[in-house]
Each structure stands twice: as C-alpha cells, then as structure tokens.
Structure 1
C-alpha cells in the first residue's frame, strides 16, 4: 500500500498525502474510532467539515492515534452558508476548538452557495468575504493551506481575481462516469489540486456493469479501480468509510490502468445517483 506514503505538493509548498479518508456520514460518536483505525492502517490524510457535525470526534481520534501531529494532514470546511467575514472568522475559531489539534492543515469554503440555493444566486461578494477570513487565518498560522469545494470556473475566477492567496485546492464531485474535464484542466493549469470526493459515487458505481467489467480485467474491486482512476488523473481521492477492511482495500491500489481503459472511464456517463440525488452535490442544482 505504497500510496499511503506518497504525497502531492500544494502551491505554497505544503505536502498532502495522495490518499485521504472522507468522513461524511460518520457520526460524531463513531468518528474517533474510524479515524484512529484509519491512522493505524497507515492513512495520514483525514477530511471533515463543519457540516458533517463530527469535527469533535475526528479530533479525538487524531489525538488518540499516537501519531505525531506533524505527521498528519487534517482538512475541514467552512459551512456553505457562511458568506460574511466576521461569521467566517468565528467559525474558523470554532473548528479549531472542536478539533483541538493545534492547527488545521487545510480549510475550504464548502460550496460557493448555501446548500438551500446550490448553483443558485450570486454569492461572489460573500465568497470574497469568507475567503478573506481564510486568508487571515492562513497568515496567522492557524491554517497551513486554504482552498474551496464545489467551485466552478467562474467561482474560482472570482477568488483568483480578488484574493491575495490563490486557492490551493478545489474539492469536487469527480469519479469514473463524471469527469469534469474543463474544470480539471482549469485547476491544473493554475496549480490548484483537485480533490475527488465520492470517488465511488456514494457507492452507486458498485452496480455499474461497465466499471465492473474493467475492474475484473485488473482483478481488483470496483472501489479500487475507481480510486486508482482518480489518482491517475492527478487528483486526490477521499473515499469515505468506517470499515477497517474497506480502509485497507481502498489503499491497495498499486496497479496501473492502461491509457485505453482510462479513456473509456473518462468518457463514461454514470450519474444516476438514485436516492442520493436528494443531496445538492448529486442533483447538480
């Protein structure tokens, strides 16, 4: 599982492990055990968010892991509804207090619009205010790197034009069957690392006949193929699981997908999220 020891280097020089653990839908009272188990397995990159309601548990797991703080990379996200400098500053302080791990390695604006108006109104000014709060926390050493999540090109341009620090990360929905090529190219051209959340499409790709066929060719599982796909795109996957066996399996991706199969996976359209389409990130609205 060599992937657990490999890193990308963000703009600004901060190193981030290439494989991370997502914690969406892991309850706060279960998060500590999940995070501690992941770290014991070899994970060094843990992702949470204010909206997940589990920052306290994630911090507890990190403190209980026995691994030195400087050897871990911990991300969280500013709630999507916060589009005001003072509220953002207070929320950053709350995350630092709940995590209780000294500092945050990466903090993102969770979405360019509040969830109840996702892909809706104009929040450019509010995003600039929230970004300024992140910049100030970054300058103060409270956060080592800053970025965004679910931002489209126009949202990124707003920050690039008006900010003093460029986003170092854009965390987006990216998986085999949903590859936003233009956004990916835009970010890569500007040295913005793309993080891929839900690299298995919240589990819906487990039933994909096309992806199963390719996975069988490499004698790997569908999740392993999907995680490897995002890595070969140069992105940083964040598969979510609290299952120790899945943690180990998800990290066992030391194989190479051929160029032809990468092209096939890149052109697939697998965006039927079923019941999960109720969530804004899967509905696209």
Structure 2
C-alpha cells in the first residue's frame, strides 16, 4: 500500500500517503524528511507559513544524496496569505528554502489576504493583537496568479487548501485551470461531506490533513475505530490513516519520530462494511452538529464551513 497512488486531473500520479511537516519540532524536521524518503515515502507536504522549509530542504538534499531521485518524490508547498497578491514571490521564497527548481503542486494555503505590508512577514497583527486582514479582497485574484505560474516550469500543478463548498463555487466559474486538489482537515469527526462530494464531482482530489484530529482528540478511542483496529490487528492510528486511502483520498501523516513515520506506512485495506462503520459514526456526529474542527486560525473571516457558520 505504501506505493499506492491516485491520478490527478492533470494526469499526474499523487501518492496515497505523505509526510506532513506542520508544527514539526525544530531541529527534527530534516531527519524526519530524510528518514521518510529513505524508507519509502514519496510525498512531502510543506508550506512557507510553517517556517521550516529550510529544514525540509536539508532533509530533501540528504535523501537525494543517498540515492532517492527527485523525479520519484512528489513535493507540494503553499503560498501564504501575506503573499496572495505576490504569488510568484512566495513561490520563489519556498523554492530557495527547499533547494528545488520546481514543486509538483503549489497551493493557495487560505483564501484570504493578510496585510503584505504588515508588521510581520507571516502573521501581521493590528495594535489590538488581532490578525491584520485585508477585508474585501477577492480570493479569486490569487488563483489568476497561480494559473500564470503553470507555464513557468516552476510548478507542475496548482491547487487549493482549506476551501469550503462556498468558496469553490465562487472560484470554479472563473478558473481557467480546475484545482488539482483541495487539501482540507478531514477525519471521522469532520467528514465535510459537502466539500468532498463537490470535489469528486469536479475531479478535484482530496488531500486530508489532521487525520487523527489533534492532541486530545477522542478519535483514537472512538468505538468504531477501536473495533476495526481489533478486527484488523492494527492500531487505531492505522485505521484512521487507512480510512482516507480506502475512500480514494491522499492522507498526510505528521510526525518527526522515525519509528512512528515508519509505522504510519502500514496502511490496510478497509472494505465497504468497514467504511460504513466509520461513515455511520460521522453521520451521527453531523446530525447532532457535534463536529470538531481542530485547525481554524483566528482570522475573523467567515469561510463558509457549515461547522463554523
């Protein structure tokens, strides 16, 4: 299962499992990336906003020096919200940090604009401490700049991240290029069915982040997850990661622990009955409106997610 891939609307193949680098412990990201690639991972997810692309780049360089081929690795990164009016500059900064000539996929990280001339390159704030957001900016402007990058040779494909059904429905009518993926928080406690269904209809591949929820998440002890773990003789973590692959989605597993990185490759097959157990669990959560989103920066912007409306 480690080599399983899915075909994007560009014709390219994206691995089913990737290493996430968000909140990677400083000083450990380089070795995590290198270890993952030397042990069979083919997808690395990063972002300018994470502030660790230099370390990711060092890990890539170590893996390439050990014999891993650049063309065998799928690398995606994201333009941060302070660069949504300067998309190419954002890309150049990431490429330089990563030590790369191109990335396989470049994403709009969030569909908003943080003040490009604010008091911080990544997280500008107003005097009251709130995020310095440029309200009234049209997120579709960033996509026009993203589309202009495709012929540059510096990106193989473009996509979006954290896009709701509402925002996708605003983007698609004016998009000359349909996004290759939508990277969203996705797990049984946040199924986001309305977004997933729209993406499937439009040929946009789902990439799931935070598949385990987050620290303190009850997902690993949820009854259907534990039941399937016992049935398959694997850990609840394996079930939560395998859940996405069985649905035809790519999943990002985040860790800097070498043993855990290796263990996360243990994706197992889940059949229709297995998936129904998890789907029923999700449906009950949605019916009670007890969904749980773990990643939602305090932008003060209404992004159109039902659980945040």
TM bracket, shorter-chain basis: 0.7 to 0.9
Any idea what the Cα deviations from partners look like across 1:158-188, whole Å, max 9, x if unmatched?
2211221111100001002211111101000
**Alpha-carbon distance, 1:212 to partner:** 2.3
Identify, as 1 or 2, the structure richer in helix. Answer: 1
SS at match of 1:4: coil
**Alpha-carbon distance, 1:254 to partner:** 2.5
**Alpha-carbon distance, 1:209 to partner:** 4.4
Alignment-derived partner of residue 167 in structure 1? 179
Alignment-derived partner of residue 70 in structure 2? 69
**Alpha-carbon distance, 1:118 to partner:** 12
Please state if 1:245 is matched with 2:259: yes
After superposition, residues 91-240 of structure 1 pair within 5 angstroms as 91-114=90-113, 122-123=136-137, 125=138, 127-203=139-215, 204=217, 205-240=219-254
1:267 to 273, 283, 294: 283
1:21 to 8, 15, 19: 19
Structure 2: stretches of 5+ with no match in the other structure: 115-129, 300-304
Aligned CA-pair RMSD: 2.6
Matched-pair contact (CA < 8 Å) for 2:3–2:15: yes
Distance in 2 (alpha carbons) for counterparts of 1:192 and 1:243:
31
Stretch deviating more after TM superposition (264-273 or 46-55): 264-273
Instruction: Calculate the TM-score normalised by the size of structure 1.
Output: 0.88
Distance in 2 (alpha carbons) for counterparts of 1:138 and 1:23:
25
Change (3 A) 1:238 1:277: closer
Structure index of larger Rg: 2
Distance in 2 (alpha carbons) for counterparts of 1:277 and 1:47:
16
**Alpha-carbon distance, 1:233 to partner:** 1.7
After superposition, residues 83-98 of structure 1 pair within 5 angstroms as 83-84=84-85, 87-98=86-97
Distance in 2 (alpha carbons) for counterparts of 1:157 and 1:119:
22
Distance in 2 (alpha carbons) for counterparts of 1:245 and 1:268:
34
Distance in 1 (alpha carbons) for counterparts of 2:11 and 2:192:
26
Structure 1: stretches of 5+ with no match in the other structure: none
Matched-pair contact (CA < 8 Å) for 1:159–1:167: no
Change (3 A) 1:122 1:216: farther
Distance in 1 (alpha carbons) for counterparts of 2:271 and 2:242:
8
Distance in 1 (alpha carbons) for counterparts of 2:232 and 2:268:
11
SS at match of 1:239: strand
